[in-house]
Amino acid sequence: MTDLIVIFRTRSDVEASVVRGLLEAHGVPSVVASQPPPSVFPMVVNTLGEIQISVHSNDADLARRTIDDHRTEAGGSRVVRLRDEFESLQRAIGYRFRDRGLLEHAMTHTSKANEDASGGVRDNESLEFLGDAVLGFVIADLLFTEFPDFDEGRKSKTKAALVSTATLARQAERLHLGDHLLLGRGEEKTGGRHKQALLADGYEALIAAIYLDGGIEHARAFLSREFGGLLADVHKDGVAGEDYKSALQEWLQSRDASLPEYRLVGTLGPDHRKLFQVEVAARGEALAQATGSSKKEAEQEAARLALVRLRT
């Protein structure tokens, strides 16, 4: 192909795949080339370079019109322009990305990457790892600053509650993060947008993306906003959030019902990141199931879900 003209640039490999598919659907052949990001440092933190899509000069006008006019489905039903796909999420988190490809990378579940035959779509597992570290550091720093009278054991217990899978999943739900996850067809069909583990992982990946895009101060500002209410609970009650197991027990006892029973129904994931699945029941009736990184955490979340069901 000669006389090529670059008609689209992005740092998002997912967006590049979508745009190339649009062009092909409209009979416009294209060529994709990647440019590595410039860096004066020996180690590149953000490895997402610019992706360029080129077409023959005779097809350039049609290609540009196709990209400008096309609307695509996101999340199965919602119709948005490509450039606006994550606009509502950026408003919800109070941060606007300079490199939107990082945000898209953070929202890409492994099931989506596995369905991409080209191998050009990367999942967010490495960002989850980094986000977990950033989250742990910032929360520890906030606890050290705001609760100087807490001993090491109390700080550790509070930190564990704040960074638990159940807490992160609830934080993700507040942001409607599940609506923005990029999932494979199988995960979509099995309700992946509402799974605790996927929401918590996506939340950690989002933290890493903010850190890589804007630095530690922007990540700290985001987490300070997000966890401000939970930290206020610690100031007020001495604990991070409600003790849902005690609350469920009190709710049942006030109605002369039997005490809740918790049962481990299974485990998920590899040994180094095992999740425990717990069911809570009363009067022989199953009330709710939940997962957590420990049985105690899963029991707390199951109790919370049971209370939501019983109170409605």
Catalytic amino acids? 132, 204
Block residue for tokens 């209370």: 307
> What SS3 state is found at 55?
strand
Q: Which amino acid is at 149?
A: D
Of residues 288, 291, 292, 293, the one with CA closest to residue 304: 288
Give phi and psi for 267, each to the nearest 5.
-130, 155
Distance in angstroms between the alpha carbons of the first and the last residue of the chain: 63
55: tokens are: 């077409």
Residues facing 290 on adjacent strands: 278
Compute CA distances 218 → 112, 131, 222, whole Å: 28, 13, 6
Of residues 1, 38, 39, 42, the one with CA closest to residue 23: 1
32: tokens are: 């994709």
Report the alpha-carbon distance of residue 131 to residue 154 in Å, rounded.
Answer: 23
Element spanning 7, H or E: strand 4-10
Please report, to the nearest 10 degrees, the dihedral formed by the alpha carbons of residues 247, 252, 253, 258 taken in order.
-130
Report the alpha-carbon distance of residue 28 to residue 153 in Å, rounded.
Answer: 63
Angle (CA) 213-218-220 rounded to 5° is: 130
